[in-house]
């Protein structure tokens, strides 16, 4: 069993406005292996970014509230840390890369200055010469000529800017890198370059990573373990083999795979999942996916599913629960019959 | 299912859009594009940022005025028409925008947004009839009538995009430019909208130009695909042919850059093309892809490669692909 | 795919529901905004009912024997240096002042917005002509300008209105122009063009409604400014001709007696301050309430 650098236990997060309470994260359990990459997959509203922000304790202070849970990083619970200590951890031990490189960089500072600032924040004793050396070293690590440290963000393209952002994140050689859709805003050929760079750096520096994305292709190519989120819960968790080659799946995961236009398949119509994610202010009583699930039964509407474990693969669905074997079998059989018709 | 006639609905000849920038520089957004779209078919236009695909779509619609070349709709030259003729053209060719959040006026309710074009064009005599038709359109695109009086910000991206589609259909156009209509949507919603677009095409005999950066999406919906790079078309072929037999180095690079769902591909080192996609500013002679192409020769940076039909229906612009379609690199 | 809906169902369903309720709710959340609204409401009602509460004659009839009378039960605000009832003067003067302010704001708003919208949307030469014209206009200090206008045309209601419009319309031109420049880039404007909409239609149906929030807020803040401005004019003797009561004029007359009869100064001053404050508070609240609902 590999050592775990990050363990999230039963995390619950809400956003409370005067109008309503949004249940963003509803009791999730996650683990990131040391040196490994965990892919966090889900669509808009699943709670992925909220989870990432909670780890960094960067939720919007006026509305975000962590109700419950533990986030254990290198043995200590982040949620119980003093603000000072958290600031020390942020950037130094855990770094985050956001989606839009355009807004993550200060347009009036050179990129060299921004990287240097990050370094100085966490290395108070370093002298200026050392800081500059570090800046140049990191720039070359991400594939940018060191002389460009005097350039401003607007002089770089989107892909380059994202590399700079990643460079800043890695400047203090963090133990954990959280990348929230780091390549979504980039062109596909640039995305390939940036992903290759991230992989390369991860291998060289041994950084553990939490890769948040909605693109299953990226997950397949970069992750070791995968957690699929839906309506604030982790509905499936496993190694990348479990998810991509396994036979058992949560119906949502199955639906996700069915929605993707596949380069290989020649099907004329896609198989989208009907409907939408539930309103996070009014979550259903039973399984959150039940309203959209083709295998849904009465049981699914009334009872919250338990997490069924088989080896490294965990699925939160009644279908795999031996207690409800009979009921669910009927539904699956009914559905298989429908498919044939 | 409406029979596919072999009629050319949209055609362009040497279509050009050159923007003049401050300081005298010229941005060749669309540089000499020839294309033909048959009635009832879909042309997929793919490329990354800066390739000119959006500008191409908007130029055909005359939302952006072309600086050169010609556009033909149903055989008629529409490049310079104005006034009443233009207004009539708007009834025939329409556009669906990429961003469902920005393309609908936040101050108009769903049904008002759909009815807008009909009100402008006075399609019906009374407002009541117009709103009736708008309600029918909502039904057609799968928007529940109970959303009629809601405002766009109260709906999710997928539903908003349906509003955009209903609006585009409201004047009964024959040709619709779909400008990245699903890029801003979640995967499962993308699939719903793509299916809707395909169903509508079958039912109403629509002709589409589908602009996107996503090759996997375009494969599903297109009959023919055009690959653009820095304002020029580098390859054009029927959909299956392009994926089975890509000829241009850029097309191959695009295909290999897509992160595959196949775990076995992890160990394979994919060839990455180096360099950045840039803007076509003050372009010089020579293949625009030459700076990033690993097979580039001297000739590539000095002359423009000719755009030739190498096998029936398959066009490519590359010196290293011979006339028979054989790859020489 | 068949589309079948009956007419009846549709016309029932289509009712113009406004976002009004949402705006009202957000407005009422802010204590200061509500206080401003209530205060302004009281002021407005009282001033509107000026004739009912106290006849106009009271405001202008001179009683030399009551000169500088301190507030008492007959004259709750006391009397001014001519023995006129201050309360009556405040009320009637306020009615005039507020009336001019509101109308002045409206006129300057309409003129300014139209010019700004046209400059922003059509750009090019039209824009240049309007903006440079505006620059020239604005190079003259506005107080001096309005003084000159009133002096030349004579002081009466209409001329005062003209002067105020000229002084304040420039505000709106720049404001609306920048809103237009911003909004004209929006996709939904391009979408309207794709449907065949022309420039004016786009300005009126898409741009101005979306710029409304900013315009409204600015307008409410301008009302306060205009009240003070108008008071300034009348302080300088360029307001409505005497004996018509006006707050600024009352301030002017009270100067002499600042030490001996402070109530002469206090009441008009307080009225101006309270009214302007109330309007400002309302304006702030409105701005927050009209803020893009999209950001919730």
Q: Distance between CA atoms of B95 and B209, rounded to whole angstroms?
A: 9
Residue B107 contacts C where some CB pair is shorter than 8 Å? yes
**CA nearest to B155, candidates B113, B126, B124, B120:** B113
Is this prediction's pTM over 0.90?
no
Residue C164 and residue C226 in contact, taking contact as beta carbons nearer than 8 Å: yes
Instruction: Look up the CATH architecture of domain A4-102+109-229.
Output: 3-Layer(aba) Sandwich (3.40)
Specify the DSSP element, H or E, that contains A260: none
Alpha carbon of C14: minimum distance to chain B alpha carbons (Å): 7
Do the chains contact at C296 and A19, CB–CB below 8 Å? yes
Q: Which pair of structure tokens corresponds to residue C274?
A: 């309270």
Alpha carbon of C172: minimum distance to chain A alpha carbons (Å): 31
Q: Which of A267-281, A294-308, B267-281, C14-28 tops mean pLDDT?
A: A294-308
pLDDT in tens, B277-324: 767 888 888 888 888 888 888 888 888 899 999 999 999 999 988 888
Give the pLDDT confidence score for residue B263 in this predicted structure: 83
Flag whether C44 is in a domain: yes
Count how many residues are written for chain C. 296
Show residues of chain C in contact with B153, CB under 8 Å.
293-294
Say which range, A97-111, C5-19, C30-44, has the weakest mean pLDDT. C5-19
Do the chains contact at C5 and B136, CB–CB below 8 Å? yes
Show residues of chain C in contact with B61, CB under 8 Å.
194
| Residue C98 pLDDT grade (very low, low, confident, very high; cuts 50, 70, 90) | confident
For chain A, the domains span: 4-102+109-229, 247-340
Q: Distance between CA atoms of A118 and A116, rounded to whole angstroms?
A: 5
Residue A261 contacts B where some CB pair is shorter than 8 Å? yes
Identify which of B190, B213, B219 has the shortest CB distance to residue A263.
B219
Q: Does residue C12 have a pLDDT over 60? A: no
Give the pLDDT confidence score for residue C276 in this predicted structure: 85
Give the pLDDT confidence score for residue C13 in this predicted structure: 47
Identify which of B48, B187, B240 has the shortest CB distance to residue A189.
B48
Alpha carbon of C12: minimum distance to chain B alpha carbons (Å): 11
Q: Which pair of structure tokens corresponds to residue C159?
A: 């001329």
Kindly state the average pLDDT of the residues C271-295: 76
Closest chain A residue to the Cα of C29, Cα to Cα: A18
Task: Let me know if A203 is exposed, middle or buried by CB neighbors in 10 A (0-12, 13-18, 19+).
Answer: exposed
Q: Does residue B4 have a pLDDT over 80? A: no
Do the chains contact at B259 and A256, CB–CB below 8 Å? no
| Residue C18 pLDDT grade (very low, low, confident, very high; cuts 50, 70, 90) | low
Strand partners, B8: B38
Q: Helices C263-290 & C208-235, crossing angle to 10 degrees?
A: 170
User: Cis peptide leading into C243, omega within 30 of 0?
Assistant: yes
Alpha carbon of B81: minimum distance to chain A alpha carbons (Å): 36
Query: Beta-strand (E) ranges in chain B?
Result: 8-20, 26-38, 42-46, 68-73, 76-77, 93-96, 175-179, 207-212, 224-229, 232-238, 308-311, 314-316
Percent of chain B with pLDDT over 70: 97
Q: What are phi and psi of C167, to 5 degrees?
A: -75, -35
Flag whether C185 is in a domain: yes
Q: Distance between CA atoms of C207 and C183, rounded to whole angstroms?
A: 6
Neighbours of chain C (3+ CB pairs under 8 A): A, B
Comparing C293 with C73, the larger pLDDT belongs to C73
Give the pLDDT confidence score for residue B22 in this predicted structure: 79
Mean pLDDT of chain B, nearest integer: 89
Q: Distance between CA atoms of B261 and A223, rounded to whole angstroms?
A: 12
Give the pLDDT confidence score for residue A69 in this predicted structure: 93
Q: Does residue B1 have a pLDDT over 60? A: no
Cα Rg of chain A, angstroms: 22
Give the pLDDT confidence score for residue C6 in this predicted structure: 42
| Residue B111 pLDDT grade (very low, low, confident, very high; cuts 50, 70, 90) | very high
Do the chains contact at B157 and A44, CB–CB below 8 Å? yes
Q: Does residue A205 have a pLDDT over 70? A: yes
Q: Distance between CA atoms of B128 and B131, rounded to whole angstroms?
A: 5
| Residue A337 pLDDT grade (very low, low, confident, very high; cuts 50, 70, 90) | low
Query: For chain B, which domains are there?
Result: 8-102+175-316 (3.40.50.300)
Residue A121 CA: distances (Å) to CA of A56, A98, A125, A171: 17, 20, 10, 11
Give the pLDDT confidence score for residue B56 in this predicted structure: 94
Do the chains contact at B87 and C206, CB–CB below 8 Å? no
Q: Which pair of structure tokens corresponds to residue C254?
A: 């009270």
Specify the DSSP element, H or E, that contains A25: strand A21-33
Q: Does residue C7 have a pLDDT over 50? A: no
Q: Which of A79-88, A226-235, B102-111, C103-112 tops mean pLDDT?
A: A226-235
Residue B145 contacts C where some CB pair is shorter than 8 Å? yes
Mutate to test the interface with C, among B107, B140, B175 (most CBs of C within 10 A): B107
Say which range, A227-236, B31-40, C177-186, has the weakest mean pLDDT. C177-186
Alpha carbon of C219: minimum distance to chain B alpha carbons (Å): 20
Q: Which pair of structure tokens corresponds to residue A19?
A: 């109008």
Q: Does residue B3 have a pLDDT over 70? A: no
Q: Distance between CA atoms of B41 and B20, rounded to whole angstroms?
A: 34
Closest chain C residue to the Cα of B150, Cα to Cα: C17
What CATH number is given to the structural domain containing C185?
A: 1.10.3720.10
Mean pLDDT of chain C, nearest integer: 81
User: Looking at the 3D structure of chain C, how many domains does it have?
Assistant: 1
Q: Does residue C5 have a pLDDT over 70? A: no
Interface of C with B (CB under 8 A): 1, 3-5, 7, 9-11, 13-17, 19, 186-188, 190-197, 201, 206, 209-210, 292-294
**CA nearest to B194, candidates B161, B231, B223, B225:** B161
Strand partners, A22: A15
Q: Does residue C2 have a pLDDT over 50? A: no
Q: Distance between CA atoms of B260 and B79, rounded to whole angstroms?
A: 42
| Residue C294 pLDDT grade (very low, low, confident, very high; cuts 50, 70, 90) | very low
| Residue C142 pLDDT grade (very low, low, confident, very high; cuts 50, 70, 90) | confident
Strand partners, B93: B175
Kindly state the average pLDDT of the residues A67-87: 90
Neighbours of chain B (3+ CB pairs under 8 A): A, C
Specify the DSSP element, H or E, that contains A177: strand A176-180
Flag whether C139 is in a domain: yes
Comparing B57 with C5, the larger pLDDT belongs to B57
Percent of chain A with pLDDT over 90: 33
Q: Does residue C197 have a pLDDT over 90? A: no
Neighbours of chain A (3+ CB pairs under 8 A): B, C
Q: Distance between CA atoms of A267 and C75, rounded to whole angstroms?
A: 91
Q: Which pair of structure tokens corresponds to residue B269?
A: 């080192």
Comparing C22 with A31, the larger pLDDT belongs to A31
Alpha carbon of C27: minimum distance to chain A alpha carbons (Å): 14
Say which range, A257-261, B1-5, C126-130, C209-213, has the weakest mean pLDDT. B1-5
Mean pLDDT of chain A, nearest integer: 87
Residue A155 contacts B where some CB pair is shorter than 8 Å? no
Kindly state the average pLDDT of the residues C68-96: 85
Q: Is the Cα torsion angle A205, A209, A213, A219 positive or negative in sign?
A: positive
Percent of chain A with pLDDT over 70: 96
- Count Cβ neighbours within 10 Å for each residue of C247-267 and write b for 16 or more, e otherwise: bbbbbbbbeebeeebebbbbb
Flag whether C166 is in a domain: yes
Kindly state the average pLDDT of the residues C160-168: 85
Flag whether C96 is in a domain: yes
> Checking DSSP bridges between strand A76-77 and strand A94-97, what pairing results, if any?
unpaired
Q: Does residue B48 have a pLDDT over 60? A: yes
Flag whether C229 is in a domain: yes
Show residues of chain C in contact with A19, CB under 8 Å.
296
Residue A189 contacts B where some CB pair is shorter than 8 Å? yes
**CA nearest to A183, candidates A221, A149, A151:** A221
Alpha carbon of C19: minimum distance to chain B alpha carbons (Å): 9
Kindly state the average pLDDT of the residues A292-307: 88
Task: Determine the structural domain holding residue C126 and report its residue range.
Answer: 30-52+76-290
3-state class (DSSP) for residue A40: strand
| Residue B76 pLDDT grade (very low, low, confident, very high; cuts 50, 70, 90) | very high
Flag whether C134 is in a domain: yes
Place of tokens 């050179």: A110
Give the pLDDT confidence score for residue C171 in this predicted structure: 83
Q: Does residue C51 have a pLDDT over 50? A: yes
Strand partners, A310: A313
| Residue C3 pLDDT grade (very low, low, confident, very high; cuts 50, 70, 90) | very low
Task: Give the number of A-C residue pairs with CB atoms closer than 8 Å.
Answer: 3
> Checking DSSP bridges between strand B76-77 and strand B93-96, what pairing results, if any?
unpaired
Q: What's the ipTM?
A: 0.82
Kindly state the average pLDDT of the residues B255-267: 82
Do the chains contact at A19 and C29, CB–CB below 8 Å? no
Q: Does residue A330 have a pLDDT over 60? A: yes
**CA nearest to C113, candidates C161, C170, C167, C158:** C170
Strand partners, A21: A16
Kindly state the average pLDDT of the residues C214-226: 81
Flag whether C7 is in a domain: no
């Amino acid at each position: 069993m590999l050592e775990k650098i990050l363990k999230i236990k039963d995390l619950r997060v809400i956003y409370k406005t005067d109008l309503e309470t949004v249940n963003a994260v509803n009791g999730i359990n996650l683990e990131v292996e040391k040196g490994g990459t965990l892919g966090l997959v889900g669509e808009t509203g699943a709670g992925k970014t909220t989870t990432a922000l909670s780890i960094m304790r960067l939720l919007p202070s006026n509305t975000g509230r962590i109700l419950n849970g533990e986030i254990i990083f290198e043995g200590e619970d982040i949620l119980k840390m003093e603000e000072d200590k958290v600031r020390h951890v942020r950037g130094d031990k855990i770094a985050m890369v956001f989606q839009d490189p355009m807004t993550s960089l200060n347009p009036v500072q050179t990129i060299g200055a921004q990287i240097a600032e990050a370094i100085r924040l966490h290395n108070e004793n370093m002298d200026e010469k050392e800081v500059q050396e570090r800046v140049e070293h990191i720039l070359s690590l991400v594939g940018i000529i060191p002389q460009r440290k005097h350039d401003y963000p607007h002089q770089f393209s989107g892909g380059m800017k994202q590399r700079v952002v990643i460079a800043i994140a890695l400047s203090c050689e963090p133990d954990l890198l959280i990348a929230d859709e780091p390549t979504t805003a980039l062109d596909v050929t640039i995305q390939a370059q940036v992903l290759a760079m991230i992989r390369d750096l991860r291998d060289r520096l041994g950084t553990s990573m939490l890769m948040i994305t909605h693109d299953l292709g990226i997950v397949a190519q970069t992750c070791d373990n995968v957690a699929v989120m839906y309506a604030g819960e982790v509905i499936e968790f496993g190694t990348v083999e479990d998810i991509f080659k396994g036979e058992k799946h949560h119906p949502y995961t199955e639906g996700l795979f069915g929605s993707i236009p596949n380069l290989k398949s020649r099907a004329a119509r896609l198989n989208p999942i009907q409907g939408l994610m539930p309103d996070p202010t009014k979550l259903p009583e039973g399984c959150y996916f039940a309203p959209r699930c083709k295998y849904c039964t009465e049981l699914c509407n009334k009872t919250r599913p338990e997490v069924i474990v088989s080896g490294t693969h965990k699925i939160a669905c009644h279908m795999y629960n031996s207690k409800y074997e009979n009921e669910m079998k009927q539904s699956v059989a009914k559905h298989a019959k429908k498919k044939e018709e | 299912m409406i029979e596919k006639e072999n009629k050319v609905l949209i055609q362009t000849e040497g279509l050009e859009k050159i923007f003049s920038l401050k300081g005298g520089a010229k941005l060749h957004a669309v540089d000499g594009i020839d294309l033909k779209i048959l009635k009832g078919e879909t042309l997929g236009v793919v490329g990354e940022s800066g390739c000119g695909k959006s500008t191409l779509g908007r130029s055909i619609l005359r939302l952006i005025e072309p600086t050169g070349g010609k556009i033909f709709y149903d055989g008629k030259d529409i490049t310079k028409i104005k006034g009443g003729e233009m207004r009539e053209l708007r009834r025939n060719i329409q556009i669906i925008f990429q961003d469902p959040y920005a393309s609908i006026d936040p101050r108009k309710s769903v049904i008002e947004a759909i009815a807008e074009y009909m009100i402008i064009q006075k399609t019906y005599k009374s407002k009541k009839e117009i709103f009736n038709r708008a309600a029918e359109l909502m039904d057609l695109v799968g928007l529940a009538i109970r959303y009629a009086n809601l405002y766009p910000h109260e709906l999710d991206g997928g539903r908003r995009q349906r509003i955009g589609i209903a609006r585009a259909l409201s004047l009964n156009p024959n040709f619709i430019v779909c400008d990245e209509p699903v890029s801003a949507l979640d995967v499962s919603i993308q699939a719903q909208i793509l299916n809707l677009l395909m169903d509508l095409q079958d039912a109403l005999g629509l002709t589409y130009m589908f602009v996107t950066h996503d090759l996997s999406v375009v494969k599903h919906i297109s009959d023919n695909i055009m690959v653009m790079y820095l304002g020029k078309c580098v390859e054009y072929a029927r959909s299956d042919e392009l994926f089975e037999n890509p000829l241009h180095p850029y097309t191959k690079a695009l295909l290999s850059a897509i992160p595959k769902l196949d775990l076995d591909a992890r160990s394979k080192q994919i060839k990455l093309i180096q360099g950045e996609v840039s803007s076509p500013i003050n372009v010089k002679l020579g293949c625009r892809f030459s700076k990033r192409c690993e097979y580039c020769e001297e000739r590539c940076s000095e002359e423009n490669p000719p755009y030739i039909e190498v096998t029936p229906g398959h066009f490519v612009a590359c010196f290293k692909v011979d006339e028979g379609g054989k790859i020489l690199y | 795919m068949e589309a079948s809906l009956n007419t009846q169902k549709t016309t029932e369903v289509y009712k113009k529901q406004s976002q009004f309720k949402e705006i009202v709710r957000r407005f009422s959340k802010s204590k200061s905004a509500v206080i401003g609204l209530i205060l302004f409401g009281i002021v407005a009602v009282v001033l509107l009912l000026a004739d009912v509460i106290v006849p106009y004659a009271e405001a202008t009839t001179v009683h030399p024997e009551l000169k500088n009378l301190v507030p008492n039960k007959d004259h709750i605000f006391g009397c001014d240096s001519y023995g006129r009832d201050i309360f009556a003067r405040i009320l009637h003067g306020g009615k005039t002042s507020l009336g001019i302010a509101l109308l002045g704001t409206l006129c300057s708003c309409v003129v300014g917005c139209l010019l700004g919208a046209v400059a922003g949307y059509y750009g090019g030469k039209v824009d240049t002509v309007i903006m440079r014209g505006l620059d020239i206009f604005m190079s003259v200090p506005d107080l001096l300008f309005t003084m000159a206008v009133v002096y030349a045309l004579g002081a009466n209601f209409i001329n005062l209105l003209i002067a105020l419009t000229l002084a304040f319309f420039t505000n709106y031109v720049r404001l609306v122009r920048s809103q237009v420049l911003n909004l004209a880039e929006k996709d939904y404007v391009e979408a309207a063009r794709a449907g065949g909409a022309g420039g004016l239609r786009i300005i009126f149906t898409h741009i101005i409604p979306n710029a409304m929030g900013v315009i409204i807020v600015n307008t409410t803040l301008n009302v306060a400014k205009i009240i003070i401005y108008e008071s300034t004019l009348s302080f300088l003797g360029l307001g409505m001709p005497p004996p018509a009561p006006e707050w600024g004029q009352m301030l002017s007359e009270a100067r002499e007696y600042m030490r001996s009869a402070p109530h002469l100064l206090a009441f008009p001053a307080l009225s101006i301050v309270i009214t302007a404050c109330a309007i400002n508070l309302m304006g702030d609240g409105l701005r927050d309430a009209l803020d893009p609902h999209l950001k919730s």
